Structure 1
Amino acid sequence: MAAPDEHPTDLPECPSAQSGGLLPDELRAWMVLLAATGAVEQRLRAVVKEQLDVSHDEFLVLCLLAEQPAGLRMTRIAELLGRPKTRLTYQIACLQHAGLVTRKSVCGDKRGVEVVLTEKARLLLKEASEPLSETVVQALGRIMGPTQREAMRALLPDVTEPSGTE
């Protein structure tokens, strides 16, 4: 965490973004990706709680389901998020209690459970999408150096320099 008098522009570029070390390019890229992911998650936690009143892990479930209008099986959600099924069961129960998802048995498979977003969740995600996406762009812009920001702009054109460096 930055010291109180330290400004984002004073922070060094992510150490793994610098070439010339022991790591091959692929591992260096992976480390930059991990640093960026960590920065985004750290910043998103508060915004997700404020905007959606759910945990970050519950938010990830909602994001997966937002891209799957027909829903997803719980085993697939656990697989995609790399979460234990027991932990996911608790998260889904919390989301269901909040009225954000529904669960139903999969036809022909008595053990299979499919999860679908409710209309309430769709509306909440739509309303929260702008502050959430701004948070992602700002976090990525802050953690990445100029070369990484340029590469990321191919995917996210709005990734910017940290405040004060433009």
Structure 2
Amino acid sequence: MADRAEHSTDLPECPSAQGSGLLPQELRAWMVMLAAVGAVEQRLRSVVKERLAVSHDEFLVLCLLAEQPGEGLRMSRVAELLGRPKTRLTYQVACLQHAGLVDRRSVCGDKRGVEVTLTDKARLLLQETSGALASTVAEALAHVVGPDQREAMYGLLPQGVDAEATTAPTPAPRRGA
């Protein structure tokens, strides 16, 4: 932890965090966030390949499914959430199915609908590797996100939200509820 705090003070000033350019606060914050995501993805790719023997994009599919305990997701929803073409997702899911990490099944009452679920093998593998993967994410973020970058990213939060107290997004109320 001490290394993380020490490391972030060594970061160069974030040009996007300055606010002296042409971009509004939200776009500056978005640029900082993209840089942070890129740093995490770069470090995570090799760890995911080594620990899980899957590609980064296949790992993202596994992560989405891992957040659906006891349920699966429609292929169209996975594609939407990941911002991937359905044809590319079909290939990735086929690779995961071949590795024994996901199951596919038709959605009852919808001839074209396909739902994907994690296998027990995938659940165990994710449980075994999640600590190392989470550490990789934290280390990558600590390396690129310092006080200036953090302040810039707060610009993406809605007005009136205390950025220091925000730990998880509040679910939106359901319609009709």
Q: TM-score, normalised by structure 2?
A: 0.78
- AA matched with 1:140: L
Cα deviation 1:36-57 (Å, max 9, x = unaligned):
1111000100010011010000
CA RMSD of aligned residues (A): 2.1
Give the 3 Å change call, closer, same or farther, for CA 13–43 of structure 1 in structure 2: farther
> CA separation in 1, counterparts of 2:85 and 2:95?
16
1:19 aligns with 2:24: no
Equivalent runs, 1:42-53 vs 2, <5 Å = 42-53=42-53
Find the aligned partners of 2:131 and 2:66 in 1 and give their Cα distance: 15
Are 2:97 and 1:92 aligned?
A: no
Aligned to 2:36: 36
1:113-147 Cα deviation digits (max 9, x unpaired)? 00000011011111111111111111111111224
CA 1:106–1:33: 2 relative to 1, 3 Å: same
CA distance in 1 between partners of 2:36 and 2:10 (Å): 18
Amino acid in the other structure paired with 1:44: L
Q: 1:96-111 to 2 correspondence within 5 Å?
A: 96-111=97-112
**1:15-65, Cα deviation, whole Å (9 max, x unpaired):** 322222211111111111111111100010001001101000000000000
Aligned pairs, how many? 150
1:138 maps to amino acid: E
| Displacement over 2 Å in runs of 4+ | 7-11, 147-156
Look up the match of 1:148.
149
Q: Percent identity?
A: 77
Tell me whether 72-81 or 135-144 shows the greater mean CA deviation.
Answer: 135-144
Note the residue ranges of structure 2 that are not aligned, 5 or more in a row: 1-6, 155-162, 168-177
User: Quick check: 1:78–1:85 contact (8 Å CA) kept in 2?
Assistant: yes
Shift of 1:11: 5.0
SS state at 2:20 partner: coil
SS at match of 2:23: coil
Change (3 A) 1:114 1:87: same
1:101 touches 1:117 (CA, 8 Å); kept in 2? yes
Q: Contact conserved, 1:92 with 1:101, CA < 8 A, in 2? A: yes
Name the stretch that deviates more: 86-95 or 135-144.
135-144
Judge which range, 16-25 or 75-84, deviates more. 16-25
Equivalent residue runs for 1:51-70 within 5 Å? 51-69=51-69, 70=71
5+ residue gaps, structure 1: 1-6, 157-166
Q: Does 1:123 align with 2:117?
A: no
Supply the AA of the counterpart residue of 2:88: R
Higher relative contact order (CA 8 A, sep 6+): 2
Q: Per the alignment, do residues 153 and 13 of structure 1 end up closer, same or farther by CA in structure 2, a change over 3 Å counting? A: farther
Q: What residue in structure 2 maps to residue 75 of structure 1?
A: 76
